[in-house]
Structure 1
Amino acid sequence: MCGNLLVIISIIYFKQLHTPTNYLILSLAVADLLVGVVVLPFSTILAVSSCLHLEGLLCKVRSCIDMFLCTSSVLNLCFISIDRYYAVCQPLRYRTKITVRVIVIMILVSWTVSALNGIGVTVRGLNEEQSNRCVLFQHTSLAIMGTFLTFYLPGFIMSTIYLQILMVSQRQVRSIQSTTCQNTKSGATISKMERKATKTLAIVMGVFLICWTPFFLCITFYPLSNYTIPVSVIASFKWLGWSNSMLNPFVYGFFYTWFQTSVRMIISGKIFQGDFTHFKLF
């Protein structure tokens, strides 16, 4: 919650950060913040209470909000990858293609689709046979629909886009290398650029896949295995997935120098000592 809150305050306060790309990061931070503020308290209550009178109602509410916010977080990640694709692969068309209007549409789509997905899956599951286990997707059709819209489709899109970005980046680096003086220093610089691009993309996709893949694979095979997978295993993988909302500020924020500067100004209280809205962060 602290990391996402720092991202939100930074982007809202500093005028220099009012860019289309940062609006997507802001939307992502809001979704991730709400996961920590709303979803995790519900989940904690359900985890520690075994005989709660309203456990069934809390489970349904938690499931709806959880689907809504987690799907929004994933879709925001997906739209960020699209934004990065145009920035890296089509830089000359970036400003005409990725405008504030387009970004607003992306944000509205991510939140609207997420809300419809969460409400739809929850409503469809109301008439299903009840179980003492508070687990998402206890029906096969719901599991297929929910996991496809929440993870598999966005994950496939993100993987494809970032792979394309990586290929284009390496191609651009080799093009620069072929037109510059071939010396040891140049070769070392080019090699460092390639490693940095590869490392950054590996972190972006790696964190997302490491956090969410175990849960969605488990939940996909859960109905097919006649519900034999231990609920404790599913719960553990779910908490791992939620941790993606905690790590996103590190992946999309701490890699930017402007975020490091803004965090120092916020934590030190400098922004309360005057008007720093137009302060140059980079």
Structure 2
Amino acid sequence: MTSNFSQATLQLCYENVNASCIKTPYSPGLRVLLYMVFGFGTVLAVCGNLLVVISVLHFKQLHSPANFLIASLASADFLVGISVMPFSMVRSIESCWYFGDTFCSLHSCCDVAFCYSSALHLCFISVDRYIAVTDPLVYPTKFTVSVSGICISISWILPLVYSSAVFYTGISAMGIENLVSALNCVGGCQVVVNQDWVLISFLLFFIPTLVMIILYSKIFLVAKQQAVKIETSVSGSKGESSLESHKARVAKRERKAAKTLGVTVLAFIVSWLPYTIDTLIDAFMGFITPAYVYEFCCWSAYYNSAMNPLIYAFFYPWFRKAMKLILSGKILKGHSSTTSLFSE
């Protein structure tokens, strides 16, 4: 009787399919709540990052090497929101993959590529901010549009090459073929890689993160020294030269930009750290993480793609103004691209 009861209550992703994965969905009320939470994050990632991209590309005042990097970062986050999060939402809540094996590989490839692309973008942005704060007057000659283009190219090409190698060559599953075969079922989209590739993935997160932490630590030390020096020079001499006044304004502007992007980097680290640690532990402990813990770690990382536009909206007055112009449709008017977005 116990056996018959178990068979009667057992749910499968695909009924009447022998190799179907077992379905373990959440309760109806919790499913609705999760769809609302995950759906909100998806919409925010798509719409918010699209606004950032349109703002930088449309308004000529925002055409700068640093802003092109930000627009490229927003493009990566936008692609996470539109090509990864909706399908992951269904998989996470329904506990089944209904989109086919071919799209499973493509989805996993895009997931890894776009997320690591965000990490590399943030690393290059921290380099940009370091140069801007430590040497603000020479910065325009050092970080040019061509240099920004090289950084953007690297941020896209390396993650795409890496993710393609992981999911389309099969080398990431070498040595764990039996485990991959055991987890393989109809309605599943499990990403299982061996310990070597997990370590590579960890380094792809750890190295850019370490670079960001070191650079931003130096940035805030330099910014603090600059603030003290400027305050001392102003209090010591009311009739400061126009050059010194210009230096002070430039240094203040760059420090503010560095602070904002520092918050972005901190949000990235906090969002991605649980997932990175979890995958590292799983690879060496036999994949012991409960499904709900893994899903929490995944969506913590996904939500990072939705957080950046909120940070820009909170810290950047020019982004709030650009957003109002875009949403009101005023950018469709002639010469809207030359609108001034800065108060100064």
RMSD in angstroms over aligned alpha carbons?
A: 2.4
Distance 1:229 1:247 in 2: 26
Q: How does 1:149-168 map to 2 (within 5 A)?
A: 149=204, 151-168=205-222
* Cα offsets for 1:65-100 (capped at 9, x unmatched): 111100111111111111111110121321111001
Greater CA drift, 158-167 or 47-56: 47-56
Q: Whose relative contact order is higher, 1 or 2, with alpha carbons under 8 Å and at least 6 apart? A: 1
Distance 1:197 1:7 in 2: 16
- Shift in Å at residue 26 of structure 1? 0.7
Match of 1:175 in 2: 229
Q: How does 1:48-67 map to 2 (within 5 A)?
A: 48-50=93-95, 52=97, 55-67=100-112
Distance 1:33 1:197 in 2: 22
Counterparts in 2 of 1:53 and 1:204: CA distance versus 1, 3 Å: closer
2:202 equivalent to 1:147: yes
Distance 2:257 2:332 in 1: 37
Distance 1:10 1:274 in 2: 16
Q: Secondary structure at the match of 1:92?
A: coil
Structure 2 stretches lacking a partner, 5+ long? 1-45, 237-251
- Shift in Å at residue 134 of structure 1? 4.0
Q: Secondary structure at the match of 2:336?
A: coil
1:6 maps to which of 48, 51, 55 = 51
- Shift in Å at residue 243 of structure 1? 0.7
Counterparts in 2 of 1:248 and 1:218: CA distance versus 1, 3 Å: same
Counterparts in 2 of 1:31 and 1:196: CA distance versus 1, 3 Å: closer
Work out whether residues 162 and 201 of structure 1, in 8 Å CA contact, stay in contact via their aligned partners in 2. no
2:322 equivalent to 1:267: no
Letter in 2 for 1:47: S
- Shift in Å at residue 206 of structure 1? 2.4
- Shift in Å at residue 221 of structure 1? 0.8
Work out whether residues 21 and 83 of structure 1, in 8 Å CA contact, stay in contact via their aligned partners in 2. yes
Match of 2:273 in 1: 213
Distance 1:202 1:89 in 2: 15
2:72 equivalent to 1:27: yes
Counterparts in 2 of 1:225 and 1:172: CA distance versus 1, 3 Å: same
Greater radius of gyration (CA) = 2
Q: How does 1:80-99 map to 2 (within 5 A)?
A: 80-99=125-144
2:301 equivalent to 1:241: yes
- Shift in Å at residue 52 of structure 1? 5.0
- Shift in Å at residue 201 of structure 1? 6.2
- Shift in Å at residue 258 of structure 1? 1.4
* Cα offsets for 1:159-215 (capped at 9, x unmatched): 111111011001111222333438xxxxxxxxxx8x979964662332111100111
Percent of residue pairs bearing the same amino acid type? 39
Work out whether residues 92 and 295 of structure 2, in 8 Å CA contact, stay in contact via their aligned partners in 1. no
Q: How does 1:182-201 map to 2 (within 5 A)?
A: 200=260
Distance 1:196 1:37 in 2: 31
Q: Secondary structure at the match of 2:324?
A: helix
TM-score for both structures, normalised by structure 1: 0.87
* Cα offsets for 1:209-251 (capped at 9, x unmatched): 1100111011111111111111321121111101111111222
- Shift in Å at residue 50 of structure 1? 4.9
* Cα offsets for 1:98-135 (capped at 9, x unmatched): 00100000000110011011111223235552224644
Letter in 2 for 1:163: S
1:36 maps to which of 74, 77, 81 = 81
Aligned length, in residue pairs: 270
Counterparts in 2 of 1:142 and 1:172: CA distance versus 1, 3 Å: same
Work out whether residues 122 and 265 of structure 2, in 8 Å CA contact, stay in contact via their aligned partners in 1. no
Work out whether residues 11 and 18 of structure 1, in 8 Å CA contact, stay in contact via their aligned partners in 2. yes
Letter in 2 for 1:120: A
Structure 1 stretches lacking a partner, 5+ long? 183-192
Match of 1:185 in 2: none
TM-score for both structures, normalised by structure 2: 0.72
- Shift in Å at residue 14 of structure 1? 0.9
Greater CA drift, 171-180 or 158-167: 171-180
Counterparts in 2 of 1:125 and 1:279: CA distance versus 1, 3 Å: same
